[in-house]
Structure formats: C-alpha cells, structure tokens
Amino acid sequence: MAKGKYEYWLTPEGLLKLEAWARDGLTDEQIAHNMGIGTTTLYNYKRDHTEIVEALKKGKEVVDIQVENALLKRALGYTYKEVTKEQVPATGEMIITKEVTKEVQPDVTAQIFWLKNRRPDRWRDKQDIEHSGQMGGVMIVNDIPKPDTG
C-alpha cells in the first residue's frame, strides 16, 4: 500500500482502519500520522470524501458512548466482585480462595460534570437572570406610622 493515497482510504479495508483508530481514541493528528499524511491533508480528505468522515464519526461515537456510560456509572456508584485466586502447588491449578463484593461510592465530581453538561439550564455556574423595572434613580419609601397600642 502506498501510504497517503486517498484511494486506499476509500476501500473497505482503509475505512475499517480509520474507524478502528477513531474507536481507539486517536486524535485527527495521530490518525493523519498513521495514514502517512499531514493533518491538513486529512482535513481535505474529510472535506472531499464523506466516506472518510462517516468512518471516523462511527468510530468516535462508540468511544463517546463508552465514556458516557463510565461517567454515569461513576456518578451513581456501583458494586463489583473482587476475586482472589491462588495456585495449588501440587497441580498448578488456580482456585478461588476469596470473593468479596466491594462498593464504589457515587462521585460528586462526576455528578457535577454530568449535570453541568446534561442540564446546563439548571446547573451551569453562570445563571442568566433578567431584571425588569427601573434601574437606578430615586426610590421613594412611604413611612407609615405604627398605630398606638397603649
């Protein structure tokens, strides 16, 4: 294969490689390097060939979903089983000697991150508040005397 030739990257094999690199979390710069081209050339390929854009998008989508799932799991907390195995000297067989269920507490930082991104209308740091009425000027307060109670 002659590296850098866009024709190869439009073949099923080439598109599969692009998708796999994107799924592995490589940046566009790293993908361009693997292709044997410059980043600008990759951007030109993406501009001119929708098949390349779709392969990269498809690969990145898988990773994005995995990260979303991991963030949600961390935000909510979870349990898992920790298994300890030891080798039996006589047979060399590995046997389970201990199994413990452990709990990972919900992570407040993950919760904040999730809410700020998923519900920015309610959770972003900066709130947009509209004021109505006159700004500045003189405020008149009517001082009403209290009635005599004595």
Q: Residue 32's CB: how many other CB atoms inside 10 A? A: 19
The answer to whether the CB of 53 falls within 8 A of the CB of 19 is no
pLDDT given at position 142 = 67
Give the confidence band of 136 by pLDDT, cuts at 50, 70, 90.
Answer: low
Continuous segment of H or E residues that includes residue 148: none
Is the pLDDT at 4 greater than 80? The verdict is: no
Give the position of tokens 């796999």. 20
Q: At 86, list the tokens.
A: 């030891």
pLDDT given at position 52 = 96
pTM, to two decimals? 0.55
Give the confidence band of 9 by pLDDT, cuts at 50, 70, 90.
Answer: very high
Question: What average pLDDT score do residues 11-31 get?
Answer: 94
Work out the percent of the chain whose per-residue pLDDT is above 90.
67
The answer to whether the CB of 53 falls within 8 A of the CB of 18 is no
Question: What average pLDDT score do residues 138-144 get?
Answer: 65
Alpha helices in the chain (DSSP H): 6-9, 12-23, 28-35, 39-48, 50-76, 108-118, 120-123
pLDDT tens for residues 102-128?
999 999 999 999 999 888 888 888 766
pLDDT tens for residues 50-71?
999 999 999 999 888 988 999 9
3-state secondary structure of 100: strand
